[in-house]
Amino acid sequence: MRRRGTSLLEVTIATGLVAMLAVVSASISVDLSRGMSENIARTRLATEARLTVESLRRDLSGCDPDQPLGERSVGTLVGIESTNRTTLRLCFDGDQNNRADWMPPDRVIVYESEQELLIRSDPFGSHSNVLTHSVQAWQVDDQGDHVQLLLTLGLGRFTETYTFDTSKPSQ
């Protein structure tokens, strides 16, 4: 005579197999998500670094990047200074006297770090942009004829350090 249902042994074996399958699938998903989260963190750091590099490249190129007329004599970079080791100030000539007056009509751009943010601001134009999040260190080292900028970005256990070196404009 045939019996109906399953025996206790069959139920125990099936339960054990399902539990092993659950453990294996959980460990696979943890391994996959760990790799994805690391890639997300690295990509975010690279994106923020790229935005900062692009902004510094535009500002340190020698001319005011926001000059609508495209004239070389107006908006020329005439001054770079560091008021302290965490602030970079750039002066673009607005009155064509080829001197850094640091007051209007010259345009002043300020880079400074504040609460893990790198901020680019125009104090006389009242514009302020957050360039980068996750700033661990921002250091401006004035070395006489040139300025060295050190930017360290960090997110979780990942850190990236970038060094920029630019010469000061000749007066």
Residue type for position 88: L
Nearest Cα residue to 105 out of 96, 94, 91: 94
Tell me, yes or no, whether 151 lies in a domain: yes
The answer, as to whether pTM is greater than 0.85, is no
Across the range 70-76, mean pLDDT stands at: 66
Tens digits of residue pLDDT in 7-18: 888 899 999 999
Domain-embedded: residue 1: no
On the question of pLDDT at 2 being above 80, the answer is no
Residue 151 confidence class, pLDDT cut points 50, 70, 90:
very high
Output the pLDDT for position 36: 85
Residue 126 domain-assigned (yes or no)? yes
Give the chain's domain count: 1
Does residue 36 lie in a domain region?
no
Residue 15 resides in a domain:
no
Task: Kindly state whether residue 14 falls inside one of the protein's structural domains.
Answer: no
- Structural domain of residue 65, as residue ranges? 48-167
CB burial class (10 A; 0-12, 13-18, 19+) of residue 143? exposed
